A and B are shown apart, each in its own frame.
Chain A
């Protein structure tokens, strides 16, 4: 029976092989490569959270890095001020709740105030500068321009019994992999639920949805808060892999995540990961080869993809189907 399913569904084959390859990755590559992929998977979760609001709800957010950065800072600050064992778990929850709260506040005023489309984007863009300045000014708490570094190392496992140091590339990698799969499944559940249907209908025609009896601003705040929480979670996962500094909330980071989602294919979920990995690896490769010009290449690539494949890599692959690549698929 299983064979039959695999025979009919090349998707299962692809996913199975991909999963095994991802699990085996740290065993066959260096620690550097492992943490690099872990970092890109964290960015993938970040991009996934943007796809939930941009791809599915049509909310344009030019300041999504705020929530990534808020998550990372919340994690770092919690680790610094919570001295007990097992603090990592609380820090992660904190790193989800803080961005969520910012998202709810922002969403409440903007969505209930009927600020939508590009105007919402402009407000979030401006907010990036505001939040970045607040972080730089509050240097006692955040370390200011120098960044935040003197916090306890994040650890997983059961305190006192068995502990895993997240600074180990392998531990970080498997944690991030599990988190990425978890977030992907959660996002999939959300978009396939009736709530997800309504969210997509809001993207199409907000007014029409309201005439059917839905409280549109409330539903927008909810999806926005979920996306902000997920972005914060990815920020928390970034802490063992990178450095907490005001750069995390930069306009560049907000822009590049838009590129990742657009290149991968917005409104597809998996496209967020595909786009992030494709662009990030290319960026790593190009920035080694062309120290100055690499950004130009990435920009040109983004423009080309959006012009030639407006639905991104995944949209393109869906349209032209995997059939030609996998001839064993029936009918």
Chain B
């Protein structure tokens, strides 16, 4: 589904991607961890076309997308959740979901409000998120956790083939984090997903293979248990002195 081959990116004198290779299979959930400043969010910016790599290839469903624009890559089925909740605060919860559900329509469909059956998907998401009573509320008035979930709902409604989640539990309480992990496992089941996360408890709960990034390269890959055992990872990331 997603193949990243020998990706390089420099910002001035700073090398952020130094020959990165990642392969994510169709339907796989993959966790990406790594210390701060190691290029995790940059990786998402590169995949979504926000910034262009200096060299290397990013293939989504076999197609190299490095020269495409953000909305074109989104239309190929890449949907992204940002680190801090990025929703349209002045619009209602339902309007946020309608906008997210219909991103690939042409202009005629937009002006005539033709949604091609998206209504039932929106109802389904409202139900899964238990958002029914808030549907007509201003989304900016929701709590932090609810806004995170709303954005996850928006990402799902965008009919993605590849989902990128950047710290979906940032700023959440323990209970909210647990619920988010369950939500992701439940609703993202069978979808190709990349998750950046710092919260080790969350990563464990997700039960997904983990890739450790370090200085723009993959340091190691494996199950959570393997990674947690790895000496090098413990040293650079889990903060344990050997």
Contacts and interface: CB of A to CB of B under 8 A. Distances in A.
Interface stretch (A79-87, A128-136, A191-199): A191-199
Contact of B110 (A195, A200, A212): A195
Contact of A215 (B71, B91, B99): B71
Contacts of B102: 194
A50 B91 CA distance: 21
A214 B50 CA distance: 14
B128 to A, nearest CB: 19
Given A205-B88, A213-B75, A215-B71, A198 B104 contact: no
Contact of A204 (B80, B91, B111): B91
B70 A210 contact: yes
Nearest to A204: B88
A201 interface: yes
A88 B111 CA distance: 29
Nearest to B112: A193
Contacts of B232: none
B158 interface: yes
A211 B86 CA distance: 11
Interface residues of B, number: 33
B99 A211 contact: no
B100 interface: yes
B171 interface: no
Given A194-B113, A195-B111, A197-B95, A212 B90 contact: no
A211 B80 contact: yes
B113 A212 contact: no
A302 interface: no
Q: Binding site of A, secondary structure by majority: helix, strand, loop or mixed?
A: helix
A194 B98 contact: yes
A190 interface: yes
Interface in B132-154: 154
B156 to A, nearest CB: 12
B103 interface: yes
Contacts of B111: 190, 193-195
Contacts of A198: 99, 110
A195 to B, nearest CB: 4
A209 interface: yes
Interface in A175-230: 190, 193-195, 197-198, 200-201, 203-205, 207-216, 218-219, 222
Contacts of A194: 98-99, 102, 105, 109-111, 113, 115
B11 interface: no
A210 B45 CA distance: 13
A198 B115 CA distance: 13
A208 B100 CA distance: 10
- Scoring B82, B107, B110 by chain A CB atoms within 10 A of each residue's CB, the highest score goes to B110
A190 B96 CA distance: 17
B74 interface: yes
A208 B112 contact: no
A267 B95 CA distance: 16
Interface string B111-127: 11101000000000000
A210 B98 CA distance: 15
Contacts of A207: 50, 70
A213 B88 contact: no
A186 to B, nearest CB: 11
B142 to A, nearest CB: 15
A197 B99 contact: yes
A222 B110 CA distance: 12
Contact of B158 (A210, A212, A215, A218): A212
B48 interface: yes
Given A194-B113, A195-B107, A198-B99, A211 B70 contact: yes
B37 interface: no
A47 B88 CA distance: 26
Contacts of B89: 204
Contacts of B82: 208
A212 B48 contact: no
A214 B103 contact: yes
B91 A210 contact: no
Nearest to A218: B107
Contact of A201 (B74, B99, B113): B99
5 contacts: A194-B99, A194-B115, A198-B99, A213-B75, A216-B71
Interface of A: 190, 193-195, 197-198, 200-201, 203-205, 207-216, 218-219, 222
Given A195-B111, A209-B99, A210-B74, 8 more contacts: A194-B110, A195-B110, A204-B89, A207-B50, A207-B70, A208-B88, A212-B158, A213-B103
